Amino acid sequence: MNSLNNEIITFIKKASKRIKANFILDLSVVGIKYLLCLNFLILLISLFITIPYVEEVTIGILVIGIIAIIIYGAFKAPKDKEVALIVDSKGLKERVTTSLELINHDDEITIAQKKDTVNYIKNYNLKENLKIKTEKKQVLVVIALLAMCILTAFIDTSAKKEANNIREFNKYQQEYIKKVEEEKKKVDKLEDLSEEEKEAIKKILEDAKKELKEADKKLDVNKTLERMEKKLEEAKNQAKDEKSKEAMENMQKNLLDKFNKDKEENAKKDLNKLTNELLKKKESKDLAEAILSKDSKELEKALGNLKKSLGNMSSSELNNLSKALASAAEGMEDESLKEALESASDSVLDGKLDAETLKEALENAKKNSEGKKGEGSNKGEGSGEGEGEGSGEGDGSGEGEGQGEGNGQGQGQGNGQGQGNGTGQGWNTGSSEGEENDIDNKKGEQVYIPGRDTGNDGNLTGNKNEDGDSQSIDSQNGFNLDGSKIDYDKVIGDYTNSALEGANNSNLPESFKDLIKEYFQGLN
């Protein structure tokens, strides 16, 4: 009797494993289908809205979802009675169900029924009758959704780029926060440092850690690290003995060696990319060659020439130059250079260029690419003073006469002197004598701009001599001339810029815009 019961129960357990496995498989396929739908929706949203860790989010949803499905399936899988019903429906015709209900009975009829069940289950092929499989249609849907998710993940948009930048920044920020924390823990173990030196070092590291946590972009992190390096260098120089200096130098190396090497390598890559992009366009070729020359004056000259030539460029040429600058800025590691190039890319479309800012960013990048550290300064001071008195005469037309006499003497003197010096290494730190460079403010031909004022006593600027007299006679209002001198090129430049800006912002055909440019070019 017990042997019959054991055989029936063993059969039910074997069948139960296959039925439960198939149940969990079906449940998993359906569950994964809905999870992939959710992930696909998130990935679509991430194309337009910045989601920094969208890949991790979607993978996490999928993994947690599958685990939840398996756990749920284990609890909700068919029990023994349900297994018996399923097996009976596959050819055993209620024999297993009946035997299971009579498992604790031992009368003759029950024994006969159980023997009959055992005879049938011995010849029952579980693998053939209880196949572990799922619907092909559901599997195809899952495969299609998975492919759509993968393809969507590889679509590049501005939101995706911003998300990647945030991820890279967070990783970069945490890397140096962790380094600062580790070095701070080691400070107390440095026997070569005095207590005063230890406290000073810990203060520097604590301030740096705070600034690193508050940083919003990579440029802020880099500036914090540079400030920390400078403070550590000062502390090292103030150390009392060589052992203290060596200990501080080792700490500085552990903290910033990788940072300085990366900065040098990234600067080289940035400059190579920049020159390659600029060389592709004839409008920016001279600037690229100036960068390659490594000469500060050549760079300044090239930027000045480029700025002056903007007014003479056609819309297509300005567009080409803007695209070259934008392409160069894309993917730049140096945030300062990237911002300067992006700003230049936008401004050249309006015929403008901040040459000084771009020059400074390029020089800093060059200095970084050479792995040089140093500080340079140029100072120039100048003073000038002048005194003068002037006389003027004015008369008005109409009935009457106005007269004024005066003489005056004017004398003015001014001098300026500037000196500057620089120490350290860098790209063109300056000369020993102060020199003023003006890229675009050179004087040209001066023209007279007249003005008109109503004639009255207040407009007569003459002053009488000590022993002279003056006379005024009322008359009808006349006019006297008032005017000023101004650079002719500036006048033409103002009108040209105004006209070109209006043309660029209008919907005029390109041929009309070129015609306007040619007209103003002819005035120069």
Same-domain status, 150 and 192 = no
Structure tokens that stand for 141 in this block: 């849907």
User: Which residues in 185-336 belong to E strands, given as ranges?
Assistant: none
DSSP alpha helix (H) spans, 154-241? 158-187, 195-214, 218-237
Nearest partner of 97 among 106, 87, 105, judged by Cα: 87
Contact (Cβ atoms closer than 8 angstroms) between residue 465 and residue 391: no
Same-domain status, 221 and 116 = no
479-487 and 381-388 beta bridge pairing: unpaired
One pLDDT digit (tens) per residue for the chain, 524 residues: 578 888 888 899 999 999 999 999 999 999 999 999 999 999 999 999 999 999 999 999 999 999 999 999 999 999 988 988 998 888 888 888 888 888 878 788 888 888 888 888 888 888 888 888 889 999 999 999 999 999 999 999 999 989 998 999 999 999 999 999 999 998 888 888 888 888 999 999 999 999 999 999 888 999 999 999 999 999 888 887 888 888 888 888 888 888 888 888 988 888 888 888 888 888 888 888 888 888 888 888 888 888 888 888 888 888 888 888 888 888 788 888 888 898 888 988 888 888 888 888 898 888 888 876 544 333 333 333 334 444 444 443 333 333 344 444 433 444 433 344 433 333 343 333 334 444 344 444 555 454 444 444 444 444 444 444 444 444 444 444 444 555 666 667 677 777 777 776 666 767 677 777 777 766 65
- Residue 134 in domain: yes
- Residue 446 in domain: no
Same-domain status, 135 and 186 = no
446-454 and 479-487 beta bridge pairing: antiparallel
381-388 and 410-417 beta bridge pairing: antiparallel
Helix axes 315-329, 510-521, angle to 10 degrees: 100
Judging by beta carbons within 10 Å of its beta carbon (0-12, 13-18, 19+), is residue 54 exposed, middle or buried? buried
Same-domain status, 125 and 29 = yes
Structure tokens that stand for 354 in this block: 């901040």
Contact (Cβ atoms closer than 8 angstroms) between residue 318 and residue 455: no
Q: Amino acid identity of 186? A: K
Domain that holds residue 301: 291-370
Sign of the Cα pseudo-torsion (202, 207, 212, 218, in order): negative
Same-domain status, 18 and 138 = yes
Same-domain status, 75 and 145 = yes
pLDDT in the model for residue 389 = 40
Q: Read off φ and ψ for residue 412, nearest 5 degrees.
A: -135, 145
Same-domain status, 8 and 143 = yes
- Residue 359 in domain: yes
Same-domain status, 135 and 170 = no
pLDDT in the model for residue 177 = 94
Nearest partner of 64 among 27, 42, 40, 31, judged by Cα: 31
pLDDT in the model for residue 408 = 40
Domain final residue pick, 326, 352, 370: 370
Judging by beta carbons within 10 Å of its beta carbon (0-12, 13-18, 19+), is residue 510 exposed, middle or buried? exposed
- Residue 215 in domain: yes
Same-domain status, 146 and 170 = no
Length of the chain: 524
Distance of CA 7 to the CA centre of its chain: 71
Q: What distance in Å separates the CA atoms of residue 352 and residue 309, rounded to the nearest whole number?
A: 10
Q: Amino acid identity of 436? A: E
Dihedral, 153, 154, 157, 160 alpha carbons, nearest 10: 50
- Residue 264 in domain: no
- Residue 381 in domain: no
Judging by beta carbons within 10 Å of its beta carbon (0-12, 13-18, 19+), is residue 350 exposed, middle or buried? middle
Instruction: Domain count for the chain, please give it.
Output: 4
Same-domain status, 17 and 91 = yes
The residue to which tokens 């970084």 are assigned = 368
Judging by beta carbons within 10 Å of its beta carbon (0-12, 13-18, 19+), is residue 400 exposed, middle or buried? middle
Per-position b or e across 291-312, b if 16+ CB within 10 A of its CB: beeeebebbbebbbebbeebbe
- Residue 418 in domain: no
Nearest partner of 126 among 278, 276, 265, 11, judged by Cα: 11
Q: What distance in Å separates the CA atoms of residue 521 and residue 508, rounded to the nearest whole number?
A: 19
Residue 240 CB coordination number (10 Å): 11
Same-domain status, 12 and 142 = yes
Domain final residue pick, 132, 154, 176: 154
Widest Cα–Cα separation across the chain: 158
Same-domain status, 144 and 185 = no
pLDDT in the model for residue 471 = 46
The DSSP code sequence of 50-115 is: --TTHHHHHHHHHHHHHHHHHHHHHHHS--HHHHHHHHIIIIITTHHHHHHHTTT--SHHHHHHHH
- Residue 427 in domain: no
Judging by beta carbons within 10 Å of its beta carbon (0-12, 13-18, 19+), is residue 490 exposed, middle or buried? middle
Domain final residue pick, 101, 122, 154: 154
Contact (Cβ atoms closer than 8 angstroms) between residue 396 and residue 478: yes
